[in-house]
């Protein structure tokens, strides 16, 4: 049976590959080899759903597993879905639109009851939602909003509030001076919300002439390397005179701090991040990062899993507010983030997000 399933799925996967290969351009060659790599590196876990069982089946299409937080999302979501007696198939697209669309098609063809999507690209993922709707499959936009599409539910944290928390913490320390803003990926709606939150707080300071934002740039694909390059550029353009940095997440804050470290400036300039990644919390303890924002992932995964199962049962899910995604008012749930500095690291430990031993571990151990 498993072999039979496997060959059907392979046909589903291979057919679009042939179609892509028949009109190959340079970009297609790249995409095709990335798809092959993804297949080879087991990102396509084609056998985890038993299509013969009558359990509710949830498909979880993720953008990436690059950052620590997404590994928690993956594991905790699986656990939450299974605790509800349903099953889940999880695919991660390595930050590639074509792969994510292919994954979604695979999940739809496998007959999942609900599709949960973390979009790599807020706009192009609308194609996934349209395909799911054609097969009567409900879609949850998870953590990141899919723009211009009829998603059934959006569940995330209050991302604008995340940015506000960052800017509040940094303006308390540096009420006057030259600021650098290292944004997230332009393709991710959250990056825009984080930035909006930051500028909600900075604007009055800017209007008074107390704060000048001397550098403000997106970071392609959220990578620490691109953030490092941005920070280098910001430092050079400003004669190495910077008073504070707000980075859109902990991965980019890591890149920023490496750039500062190369000049012996790590710990001299306040830096904000968000995600409460272990490395970031360790940097807070070391004094090279000022703050992060903790988003309790378990609350997100538990809520998303429960609502996915309700949607699969045909129940009405309304959320606690609506958010316009460019097409319509999407029923939404936004969870509360928590600002973390050296003073309240215990909050993260008490929640079991990171252990005390891990946080205070000596570097290199």
Where does this chain bind ligand GAL (CB under 6 A)? 67, 69, 143-144, 184, 188, 190, 222, 249, 275
Closest CA to 56 of 84, 91, 90: 84
Nearer to ligand GAL, 131 or 295 (CB): 295
Q: How far is the CB of 83 from ligand GAL (least distance, A)?
A: 24
To which residue do tokens 């300039």 refer? Answer: 269
Q: Report which residue's Cβ sits closest to ligand GAL.
A: 190
Q: How far is the CB of 186 from ligand GAL (least distance, A)?
A: 12
Q: How far is the CB of 249 from ligand GAL (least distance, A)?
A: 4
Nearer to ligand GAL, 13 or 155 (CB): 155
Alpha carbon distance 313, 56 (integer Å): 8
Q: How far is the CB of 303 from ligand GAL (least distance, A)?
A: 15
Nearer to ligand GAL, 282 or 292 (CB): 292
Nearer to ligand GAL, 133 or 298 (CB): 298
Q: How far is the CB of 192 from ligand GAL (least distance, A)?
A: 10
Nearer to ligand GAL, 68 or 87 (CB): 68
Q: How far is the CB of 254 from ligand GAL (least distance, A)?
A: 12
Q: Is 214 exposed, middle or buried (0-12, 13-18, 19+ CB in 10 A)?
A: middle
Closest CA to 284 of 365, 349, 231, 194: 349
Nearer to ligand GAL, 166 or 190 (CB): 190
Q: How far is the CB of 288 from ligand GAL (least distance, A)?
A: 20
Nearer to ligand GAL, 126 or 312 (CB): 126
Q: How far is CA 163 from the centre of its chain?
A: 15
Alpha carbon distance 133, 128 (integer Å): 9
């Amino acid at each position: 049976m498993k072999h039979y399933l496997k060959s059907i799925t392979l046909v589903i996967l291979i057919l679009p590959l042939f179609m892509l290969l028949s009109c190959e351009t340079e970009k297609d060659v790249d995409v095709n080899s990335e798809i092959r790599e993804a297949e080879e590196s087991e990102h396509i876990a084609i056998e985890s759903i038993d299509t013969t069982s009558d359990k509710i089946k949830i498909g979880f299409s993720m953008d990436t597993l690059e950052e620590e937080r997404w590994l928690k999302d993956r594991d905790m979501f699986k656990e939450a879905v299974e605790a509800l007696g349903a099953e889940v198939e999880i695919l991660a697209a390595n930050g590639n639109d074509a792969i994510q669309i292919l994954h979604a098609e695979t999940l739809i063809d496998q007959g999942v009851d609900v599709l949960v999507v973390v979009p790599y690209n807020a706009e192009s993922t609308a194609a996934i939602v349209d395909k799911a709707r054609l097969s009567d499959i409900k879609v949850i936009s998870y953590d990141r909003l899919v723009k211009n599409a009829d998603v059934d539910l959006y569940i995330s944290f209050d991302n604008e509030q995340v940015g506000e928390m960052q800017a509040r913490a940094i303006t308390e320390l540096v009420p006057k001076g030259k600021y650098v803003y290292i944004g997230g990926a332009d393709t991710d709606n959250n990056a825009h919300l984080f930035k909006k939150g930051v500028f909600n707080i900075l604007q009055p300071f800017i209007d008074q002439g107390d704060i000048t934002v001397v550098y403000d740039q997106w970071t392609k694909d959220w990578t620490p390397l691109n953030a490092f390059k941005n920070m280098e550029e910001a430092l050079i353009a400003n004669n190495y005179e910077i008073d504070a940095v707000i980075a859109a997440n902990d991965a980019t804050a890591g890149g920023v701090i490496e750039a500062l470290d190369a000049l012996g400036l790590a710990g001299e300039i306040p830096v904000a991040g968000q995600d409460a990644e272990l490395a970031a919390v360790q940097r807070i303890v070391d004094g090279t990062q000022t703050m992060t924002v903790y988003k309790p992932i378990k609350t997100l995964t538990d809520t998303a899993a429960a609502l996915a199962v309700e949607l699969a049962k045909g129940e009405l899910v309304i959320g606690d507010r609506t958010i316009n995604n460019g097409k319509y008012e999407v029923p939404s749930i936004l969870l509360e983030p928590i600002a973390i500095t050296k003073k309240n690291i215990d909050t993260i430990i008490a929640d079991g997000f990171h252990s005390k031993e891990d946080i205070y571990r000596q570097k290199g151990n």
